[in-house]
Amino acid sequence: MHIVAACALISNPTGEILLINSPKRGWEIPGGQVEVGESLIDGLRREIREETGVDAEIGLLTGVYSNVKAPTKVIFTFLGTYASGDLTTSPESSEVRWVKGDQVMALVIHPAIYDRISDALSFTGQVVYRVYTTDPYTQISLQNI
């Protein structure tokens, strides 16, 4: 059984990127586990709203990531755009902020999250598929699909 999760690189009209500071992983893009009975996109929208207070339009898929260390996870990363709402923290986000695109990667310390955000920022239309393990982070394979 896999845990299914989704996250999104959300941009606002000025091109800034929405980041949350997670107590577990540091700075990352919003997202999380899809609940039973939810579609992938509905679950992603819910997670974004819960973690940031923002509603977002979800766009293109940029990457699929398989963490093969138990509990195994499949994580989908999308692009998205700000629709409405005011930034709000939650138990999953000690800080929420809009960050200039050229400053995003300097804040991210978790290697799997770094790869997901880097792939989304450099997206040119080709979806990336990465397989990895964590503790320590080790990439097993990388391909375009």
Phi/psi at 122 (5° precision): -100, 15
The reported pTM is 0.95
Flag whether pLDDT at 1 surpasses 90.
no
80-116 burial by CB neighbour count: b if 16+ within 10 A, else e?
A: bebeeeeeeeeebbeebebeeeeebeebbebebbbbb
Domain, as residue range, for 47: 3-144
Instruction: State the alpha helices, DSSP H only, in 33-103.
Output: 40-52
Q: How many domains does the chain have?
A: 1
Amino acid in position 106: A
d(CA 143, CA 5): 20
39: which 2 tokens? 């579609």
pLDDT digits (tens, 9 = 90+) for 57-88: 999 999 999 999 999 999 999 999 999 999 99
What's 41's domain CATH number?
3.90.79.10
